[in-house]
Amino acid sequence: MSVTEGTRIEGAARQALDATIILSIAHGTTQKEISKALLPTHPKSNMTNRGPPKATVPVQHPQIYWLPIFPVTQLLDDRLSATFSSRCVVGTAAAFTGGLGLGVAHGSKTAALRFRAENSHRFPTTSTGWYQYHKSKNYVCMFEGIKTGFTLGARLSAWAACFFYLEELVDDTRNRRDFFSTVVASLTVSGIFSIKNRFNMTTTARTARTGLYTGLVFGLLQDATVLARGRRLSYVEFLKGNVEDEV
């Protein structure tokens, strides 16, 4: 076998090993478990063999510290096992999609009622006239629905990005990641939203209560995923009697 063929085979083996490690991490395997699985296994020494045991040369496996997008350690330690940029992109995309759907439904319905009110004094009397009436109505509803959907989607995505940024800011300030940061970010966003829209005290209190419940539920769900992956939380350790910092 030539040197070129040996190098090509070694490169293909390394690529296959890299792909196996990345797939294992994607399915929830930690870096410690992967390193343990890659360590060479030494057979137990047979006492019946004569002579000293033969020395084994440890196999050098390539260490994978980075996934194609972000580090493995950061992937395991962040919220929802995803980086801040990934959470922000997915969250804003989900908010935009939800706002787009709600905006299209609300905008088209409002446009249909408005079109009927504006033309209530001149309803058509022929089949051709009714055809043109409904055709114009559908065009108006479609245009207003898309316009309202994109507007509402952009607004909701902006508020979602603000929420994720504040959550990450509170996490970095406290040097801890738990539901308290999520609640603070949610209450802050609800307060800014109330001030921007100039709500009265009753509506402001209702908005703050909604933000509190939303942040509490979302934060506890994130903490549940953290506990499911084997990490520790400071308040859980405190309740258990072990006052330690979160790993």
3-class secondary structure, 66:
strand
Model pTM score: 0.63
Domain identity same for 182 and 246: yes
d(CA 241, CA 146): 55
Question: Is 108 exposed, middle or buried (CB count within 10 Å of its CB: 0-12, 13-18, 19+)?
Answer: buried
pLDDT given at position 15: 61
Phi first, then psi, for residue 235 (nearest 5°) are -75, -30
User: pLDDT tens-digit profile of 58-81?
Assistant: 555 444 443 444 444 444 567 877
pLDDT given at position 246: 45
Domain identity same for 205 and 236: yes
Q: Is residue 108 part of a domain?
A: yes
pLDDT given at position 20: 61
Strands (E), the chain: none
- Domain boundary residue, one of 51, 77, 103: 77
Question: Is 1 exposed, middle or buried (CB count within 10 Å of its CB: 0-12, 13-18, 19+)?
Answer: exposed
Domain identity same for 181 and 135: no
The tokens describing 89, both together, are 């992109």
pLDDT given at position 132: 93
Number of domains in the chain: 3
Nearest residue to 35 (alpha-carbon basis) of 17, 12, 51: 17
User: pLDDT tens-digit profile of 27-58?
Assistant: 555 555 555 555 555 445 454 555 555 555 55
Return the percentage of the chain with pLDDT > 70, whole number. 66
Q: Is residue 47 part of a domain?
A: no
pLDDT given at position 63: 46
Domain identity same for 183 and 199: yes
d(CA 182, CA 225): 14
Local structure of residue 45 (DSSP, 8 states)? P
- Domain boundary residue, one of 128, 157, 186: 157
d(CA 78, CA 59): 32
User: pLDDT tens-digit profile of 148-194?
Assistant: 999 999 999 999 999 999 999 998 898 888 899 999 999 999 999 99
Residue found by looking up tokens 């539920």 in the block? 217
* Domain residue limits at 12: 8-25+62-77
- Domain boundary residue, one of 129, 157, 185: 157
pLDDT given at position 79: 80
Q: Name beta bridge partners: 71.
A: 66
Domain identity same for 215 and 241: yes
Residue type, 3: V
H helix and E strand count, the chain: 8, 0
Most confident of 11-25, 65-79, 164-178, 204-218: 204-218
- DSSP sequence for 126-184: SHHHHHHHHHHHHHHHHHHHHHHHHHHHHHHHHHHHHHHHHHHHHHHHHT--SHHHHHH
